[in-house]
Each structure stands twice: as structure tokens, then as C-alpha cells.
């Protein structure tokens, strides 16, 4: 693999004056004095020049490195004409579907088309194709045959190996294959993209660059770099005879002498190898080992091999010890290099301090772009998530290691919002990221972190090596709200409450100053059977957080409420689990207006459970445990109905299920009952208690803020998920 160099220290190819906006037309290029672009970015999103939007961040980064960068935003994909609007790029096209996976963007959990698109001017749906990465890449080829094409972003990242596609209900090839791209970038791509761009400028073709972390490429069958070895993991482990391993540190060209031998019989004495030498040799060997996982043709038809490939990929996801992977697709191999090295704090500051216009491109006029409206007064303070929730793909895209900005960089951005963003009234709506409270949290020992293969740092409990000090975040909150012009600062990202309870001071700070009446948290479920498949903590952590939340709310003299999120029809969930969750929701006085049904999205471990019926959290064999998957549409609707038991439309289905489960004791008018004994078409009888209440209290109604596709890849403008 290539050497790791701090990206902010790299020497630009040339000095370029920052453009007001990256050009989207030949007229804008002419104003800048450009004859051609070095790199053209193609995206399925509207172009908003703000670091929360991937193409703006990547474009400004490449611009600072001396490259002339243009953007083709939401082109008409029915022909290649729009892909010619900026001319042929001198180096390559860089293609992304946008901040969201195009299929999650287009369809609900029930595969019904969505009526809007938050990343499009006017919120209009239909401005990008299904599987946009492949369509855009192929149109680039059509526009300029022979031009290099790179694909990246969340859609390509989560499809870097053969993956189950929920929308077509089949296993599809790597996006690298069906997009016909020269290179695929996955994860946080800044480091890899800068290196590739500089090497392309020096004359290398993308298809020939094979040693950059965070990239995938096509290679001839069986191709290996010089000095590398291949480990075959193309089948599941089977019991067999175990032979003693030869000591790799002995000189096997000579006879091995017994301990204490003087060597008089011609044998060489055993050399004593220090622990440091052994570890160094092991690391060197590991760094030049590629693991062959089952081929596309095998995983497409064998659920056990699919689950095995998924488990292997997730175990090889720590940048500190991950090995390369290779997967055969027909007559070629898809080679996947180890994940990118996370950005340091100075590197994060460099990326976020670039000269963004912090506004949509003027070409959109006064049209409203919903995603921009959502984040215009918020600040991204970190990346990554070490939660490892199986239904979420944030970890697979951004990594488990938290990458945090410095306090000074964050405060500077708040001041820029105050001074430059139109409509700012003094309210900062979020300081967050995938999770609100993982800022600067890390493993206590870098050596342990670099060798760890755990899929989650907080399941089944918070790792003893995890530093859960929320002190830096508390200090950041205090300094941010003390800035002149900042009247209010609330936290919009979901709070990981099993971490928050480790710092009561943080909970007090949050509840006293930064909650706007409601706070999002995500227990997801109450039943251990389901939680174990989600890799989520038990409900006891929720109760501990709730007690702190209510105590500090009372002390602050505020009436504030928790908004818990739940997922219906998650793999491993039984009908009884959903019934017990519904009883818990009523007992605790919640009436959720919007709930999420599990959406199988590429690369998520829960998607593997859904598709294969196997549990990749455990070592796999042909006899491995089966996971109950809620695939039948009627059963999925029932699980969702249990979460909205207070809606009369759901009463007939719930009553029928309760009768089948032998739980008619839950049908009636009392507080202990779940649904009344009359149908949805009947009016409530006089004297019946208020619907959806528990313990005789009217529960607060709430409409949970929605992001399309929750339960899958990152979906907010800066990859925010709900934790």
C-alpha cells in the first residue's frame, strides 16, 4: 500500500484562485479563464457549495490541490448530451449518486416510489435514475470514449463487493463491474482521491493505479502483486484433522536441533526471536496478504457462502489490521484494498476550512432545496460510528474510528454561519454527525485499537478500553453557545444514550441547555431476542438515561420529552417480540405517528440476515443457527401496525393477530388493553378511555423527524444516521 501523508501538507499541482462556485457551464468556465476541466464531478444531487454535501467537499479539496474542477449536477441521463456540457476532462470523470443511495432515495421500505427528493431543487422526485452510479458512469463513457471514469460515494461504497439488492430481490455484482468504471473509491475518500488525482496528473491511468487504500479495481484472475500471498476463504470452515504448524521463525532449510544443542552434529542452533520481531514479521506478512472470498457466482446462489463473505468483509474493516479482499466475478477479479486511514484532526480541519460559498448554486434561483434547509444552520463536528448497529451502514462507509474536528475549526464555522448565512436568527440547529455524542471518543490504547476486530465498541456493553469522557464535547457546547450572536444551540443528531449515561455531567449540560422540547434517541426495540440481532444495548440503558433526563429537566424547570425510535420487522423479530414492544410503548405513554420498517440495504449485516436467514455475527457453518426473517408483506404490515396500535386503521389486523396468539386479554377498553373490541369502522363507545394512553395519562403525540431510508446507509446531508 502507498505511504500515508498528511493531506494538508501535499504540494498543489498549481495555484488556482478559488471559484465563487465550481463551474456548472461553459459560460462559468469562460469567466474563470478555463479552456477545460481537469476533473469533472457528476452527481445525482443539486449542487450546494457546503461541506455537508459530498461533491462540494470533494470539489473544493481538489481545487485547493491545484485542479480545475467542474460539476455536472443531476444530468438528463436519457442521452449523453448533458455529460458533454463541460467538455472532456483532462484527467477523469468522478461519479456519485449523491449523498444518498439512489434506491433508498427513490423507494420506501415497502418498495413504493417516493413522491419527493430532499436533494433536488423544489423537492422534485425523479431527477436521478435508479442505480445512478452505473447509469452516469456509462453515459460518461458514451460521451467521451476512452476517458477514465471513477465511481464513489455511498452508493458505490456499499456495493463494492457482490451484494443483495432488496429492490430486485437478487444478488448483484460489484458496482465496479456493472458501472464499467476504472476505479471505485469507498469510505471517506479524501486521502485516496488526492493521491489518485496527483498520480493521474503525472500520467498514470486509473486502471493502472492498484496500491491506494480505499480503492477497488478489476484485475485478471489470480493476479497478485509481487511478494503477496493469497489466503483462501472461499468456503465455510469445516472440521478436519489439525496438523501442527511449523514454527515460521525456524530456519527450515536445516535440521532443527533439540533445545540446548551445541550444533556438533551439524544442526544449526535455534535462533531466539524477540516478541517485537515476531510481531513485526506478522504485521508485514498480514499487510501483504489478500483474502479470497467466495465468488459472485457462488454467493448469488448459496446463502451460507453469502453470509460467510459478508462476515469476512466486516471482520476486515479495521484500517489498523484489515487485509485486502478479492472476489471473482466471471473472468475477472474484483480486488478491494484495505480501508482508508482515518483523517487526523488537522486533516479534518483542512477539509472543513476550505472556502465554501455555503449556499446553493445561483442557477437554482429561489427554488427551495429541502436538504439545504435542514442543515444550513448546523455544523458537522465528527465522522464515523463505533456502534456497529447491524441495520445501519454508516460504519461500513465512514468507519468505526471517530474522526473529529478541532474546537477552533468548529467555532470558526459557527461564526461563518452567523456572518454569511442568510436568514440566521441566532439558532444553531445541530453540532453533531452520525451520532451526537461520539466527539473525540476513542480507544484508550492506539495499539489495542489497531489490532481490534470487534464489530462494535459498545455491544454487548461499552468496551473497557473505550474512553467515554464527554468533557471535550461539554466544553465545545459551552464555548459555542457563548459566541456573540448565538442565542440558542440545540442538538439535532441522535444521542447514543448508553454512552451518555457514562457522563451524567454531559446529560445535565445537554438537557439544561440544548434540547428543544424533544430529544431523539433510538432504543429500536425492547426485547433481547431482537436487540441481539441489532447489536443494540438492553432497555436498561434507556431507563438509566430517562431517569437522568427527567431529573435534569425538572432541575432546569423545563417540560421536555424523549422521542424513542423503533424498527419494525427487523430480522430475528418474532410476532411476540413486536407485541411485547407495543405493550411497552403503551405502558410508557408513547403514540408514535411515524415508524420505520426495516429496509435491507447493501452491505448491512442485518441485510445478510434478511437475505440468507443466517447470523453473520457468529462463525458460520452449514449447520449455523437460522434467523427468522419477516419477509411476508402481511407480516411486515402487522409488525408496523403493532407500533401504531392507537390508529383505528390497524385495529382489525391487531385483533386478528391477538386472537391467533391467544392474547384476547389485550382486547378491551381498559388501560391494560391494546385495542378495543370494535372495528376500525365503528365509533368509540361513550366513556371509552382516550386512545393510545397508558396509566390513565394522555401521552404526548409527536411526529418524529424523518429521513428516507432509515435502517440502512447514512441518509442525512452529511451522512447522519439516527442512533
The pLDDT of residue 463 is above 80: yes
- d(CA 504, CA 506) in angstroms, rounded, equals 5
- Least confident span in 11-25, 36-50, 224-238, 321-335: 224-238
Residue identified by cell 473497557 is 464
Domain spans of the chain?
Answer: 7-213
The pLDDT of residue 684 is above 80: no
Q: Is 468 left (phi over 0), alpha (psi -120 to 50) or beta?
A: alpha
- Say whether 392 counts as a known binding-site residue: yes
Residue, of 300 and 248, whose pLDDT is higher: 300
Distance of CA 665 to the CA centre of its chain: 42
The pLDDT of residue 545 is above 80: yes
Distinct helix (H) and strand (E) counts, the chain: 24, 27
For residue range 265-322, what is the model confidence (pLDDT) as tens digits?
Answer: 555 566 676 777 766 777 778 889 999 999 999 999 999 999 999 999 999 999 999 9
* Model pLDDT, residue 652: 93
Q: Which letter does DSSP use for residue 116 in this model?
A: B
Which residues are within 8 A (CB) of 352 and not within 5 positions of it... i.e. 6 or more apart?
51, 380, 405, 409, 413
- d(CA 227, CA 232) in angstroms, rounded, equals 17
- Say whether 389 counts as a known binding-site residue: yes
b or e along 304-318 (b: 16 or more beta carbons within 10 Å of the residue's beta carbon)?
A: bbbbbbbbbbbbbbb
Q: How confident is the model at residue 504 (pLDDT cuts 50, 70, 90)?
A: very high
Q: What percent of the chain has pLDDT over 90?
A: 80
* Model pLDDT, residue 581: 97
- Say whether 37 counts as a known binding-site residue: no
Q: What length does the chain have?
A: 723
Q: 7-213, superfamily in CATH?
A: Cobalamin-binding domain (3.40.50.280)
For residue range 148-180, what is the model confidence (pLDDT) as tens digits?
Answer: 999 999 999 999 999 999 999 999 999 999 999
Distance of CA 135 to the CA centre of its chain: 23
Distance of CA 465 to the CA centre of its chain: 23
Residue, of 9 and 81, whose pLDDT is higher: 81
Q: How confident is the model at residue 481 (pLDDT cuts 50, 70, 90)?
A: very high
* Model pLDDT, residue 146: 95
The pLDDT of residue 539 is above 80: yes
* Model pLDDT, residue 695: 35
The pLDDT of residue 696 is above 80: no
The pLDDT of residue 245 is above 50: no
For residue range 560-612, what is the model confidence (pLDDT) as tens digits?
Answer: 999 899 999 999 999 999 999 999 999 999 888 778 999 999 999 999 999 99
The pLDDT of residue 2 is above 80: no
Q: Long-range contacts of range 507-512, CB-CB < 8 Å, 24 or more positions apart?
A: 507/545, 507/548, 507/549, 507/552, 508/548, 508/552, 508/555, 509/474, 509/477, 509/478, 510/437, 510/477, 511/548, 511/549, 511/552, 511/553, 511/556, 511/558, 511/560, 512/552, 512/555, 512/556
The pLDDT of residue 346 is above 60: yes
Q: Which letter does DSSP use for residue 14 in this model?
A: S
- d(CA 236, CA 589) in angstroms, rounded, equals 47
Q: How confident is the model at residue 722 (pLDDT cuts 50, 70, 90)?
A: very low
Which residues are within 8 A (CB) of 72 and not within 5 positions of it... i.e. 6 or more apart?
24, 40, 41, 42, 43, 82, 83, 85, 86
b or e along 594-630 (b: 16 or more beta carbons within 10 Å of the residue's beta carbon)?
A: ebbbbbbbbbbbbbbbbbbbbbbbeebeeebeebebb
Please write down the HEC assignment for all residues of 368-404.
Answer: CCHHHHHHCCEEECEECCCCCCCCCCHHHHHCCCCEE
* pTM (global) more than 0.85: yes
Amino acid at each position: 500500500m502507498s505511504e500515508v501523508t498528511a493531506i494538508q501538507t501535499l504540494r498543489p499541482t498549481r495555484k488556482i484562485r478559488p471559484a465563487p462556485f465550481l463551474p456548472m457551464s461553459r459560460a462559468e468556465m469562460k469567466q474563470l479563464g478555463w479552456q477545460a476541466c481537469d476533473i469533472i464531478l457528476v452527481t445525482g444531487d443539486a449542487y450546494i457549495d457546503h461541506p455537508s454535501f459530498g461533491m462540494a467537499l470533494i470539489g473544493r479539496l481538489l481545487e485547493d490541490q491545484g485542479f480545475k474542477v467542474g460539476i455536472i449536477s443531476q444530468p438528463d441521463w436519457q442521452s449523453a448530451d448533458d455529460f458533454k456540457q463541460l467538455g472532456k476532462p483532462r484527467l477523469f470523470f468522478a461519479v456519485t449518486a449523491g449523498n444518498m443511495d439512489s434506491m433508498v432515495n427513490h423507494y420506501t421500505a415497502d418498495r413504493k416510489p417516493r413522491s419527493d427528493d430532499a436533494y433536488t431543487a423544489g423537492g422534485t422526485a425523479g431527477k436521478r435514475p435508479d442505480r445512478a452510479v452505473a447509469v452516469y458512469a456509462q453515459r460518461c463513457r458514451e460521451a467521451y470514449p476512452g476517458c477514465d471514469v471513477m465511481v464513489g460515494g455511498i452508493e458505490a461504497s456499499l456495493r463494492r463487493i457482490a451484494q443483495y439488492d432488496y429492490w430486485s430481490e437478487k444478488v448483484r455484482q460489484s458496482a465496479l463491474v456493472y458501472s464499467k468504471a476504472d476505479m471505485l473509491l469507498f469510505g471517506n475518500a479524501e486521502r485516496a482521491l488526492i493521491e489518485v488525482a496527483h498520480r493521474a496528473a503525472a500520467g498514470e491511468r486509473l486502471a493502472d493505479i492498484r496500491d491506494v487504500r480505499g480503492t477497488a479495481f478489476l484485475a485478471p484472475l489470480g493476479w497478485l502483486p509481487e511478494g503477496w500471498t493469497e489466503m483462501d476463504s472461499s468456503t465455510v470452515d469445516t472440521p478436519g484433522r489439525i496438523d501442527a504448524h511449523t514454527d515460521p521463525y525456524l530456519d527450515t532449510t536445516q535440521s532443527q536441533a533439540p533445545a540446548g544443542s551445541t550444533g556438533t552434529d551439524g544442526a544449526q542452533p535455534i535462533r531466539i526471536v524477540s516478541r517485537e520481531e515476531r510481531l513485526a514479521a506478522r504485521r508485514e506478512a498480514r499487510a501483504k496478504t489478500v483474502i479470497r472470498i467466495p465468488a459472485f457466482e457462488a454467493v448469488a446462489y448459496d446463502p451460507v457462502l453469502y453470509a460467510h463473505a459478508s462476515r469476512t468483509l466486516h471482520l476486515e474493516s479495521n484500517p489498523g489490521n484489515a487485509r485486502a479482499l478479492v472476489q471473482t466475478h466471471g473472468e475477472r477479479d474484483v480486488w478491494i484494498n484495505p480501508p482508508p486511514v482515518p483523517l487526523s484532526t488537522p486533516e479534518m480541519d483542512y477539509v472543513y476550512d476550505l472556502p465554501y460559498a455555503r449556499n446553493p448554486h445561483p442557477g437554482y434561483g429561489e427554488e427551495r432545496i429541502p436538504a439545504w434547509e435542514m442543515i444550513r444552520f448546523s455544523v458537522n463536528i465528527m465522522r464515523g460510528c463505533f456502534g456497529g448497529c447491524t441495520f445501519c451502514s454508516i460504519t461500513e462507509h465512514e468507519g468505526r474510528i471517530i474522526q473529529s474536528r478541532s474546537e477552533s475549526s468548529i467555532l470558526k464555522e459557527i461564526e461563518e454561519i452567523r456572518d454569511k448565512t442568510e436568514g440566521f436568527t441566532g439558532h444553531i440547529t445541530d453540532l453533531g454527525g452520525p451520532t451526537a455524542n461520539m466527539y473525540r471518543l476513542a480507544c484508550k490504547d492506539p495499539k489495542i485499537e489497531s489490532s481490534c476486530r470487534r464489530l462494535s465498541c459498545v455491544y454487548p456493553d461499552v468496551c473497557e478500553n473505550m474512553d467515554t469522557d464527554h468533557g471535550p464535547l461539554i466544553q465545545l457546547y459551552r464555548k459555542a453557545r457563548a459566541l456573540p450572536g448565538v442565542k440558542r444551540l440545540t442538538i439535532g443528531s441522535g444521542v447514543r444514550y448508553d454512552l451518555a449515561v457514562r457522563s451524567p455531567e454531559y446529560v445535565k449540560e445537554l438537557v439544561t441547555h440544548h434540547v428543544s422540547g424533544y430529544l431523539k434517541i433510538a432504543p429500536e426495540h425492547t426485547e433481547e431476542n431482537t436487540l441481539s440481532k441489532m447489536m443494540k444495548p438492553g432497555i436498561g440503558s434507556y431507563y438509566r438515561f430517562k431517569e437522568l433526563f427527567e431529573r435534569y429537566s425538572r432541575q432546569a424547570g423545563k417540560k421536555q420529552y424523549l422521542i424513542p425510535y423503533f424498527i419494525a420487522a427487523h430480522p430475528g423479530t418474532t410476532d411476540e417480540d413486536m407485541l411485547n414492544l407495543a405493550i411497552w410503548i403503551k405502558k410508557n405513554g408513547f403514540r408514535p405517528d411515524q415508524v420505520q420498517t426495516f429496509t435491507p440495504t447493501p452491505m448491512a449485516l442485518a441485510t445478510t440476515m434478511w437475505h440468507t436467514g443466517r447470523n453473520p455475527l457468529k462463525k458460520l457453518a452449514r449447520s449455523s443457527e437460522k434467523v427468522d426473517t419477516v419477509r411476508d408483506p402481511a407480516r411486515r404490515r402487522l409488525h408496523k401496525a403493532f407500533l401504531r396500535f392507537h390508529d383505528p386503521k390497524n385495529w382489525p389486523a391487531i385483533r386478528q393477530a391477538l386472537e391467533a396468539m391467544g392474547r384476547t386479554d389485550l382486547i378491551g377498553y381498559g388501560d391494560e388493553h391494546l385495542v378495543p373490541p370494535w372495528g376500525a369502522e365503528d365509533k368509540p363507545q361513550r366513556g371509552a378511555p382516550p386512545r393510545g394512553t397508558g396509566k390513565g395519562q394522555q401521552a404526548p403525540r409527536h411526529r418524529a423527524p424523518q429521513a428516507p431510508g432509515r435502517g440502512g446507509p447514512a441518509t442525512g446531508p452529511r451522512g447522519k444516521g439516527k442512533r
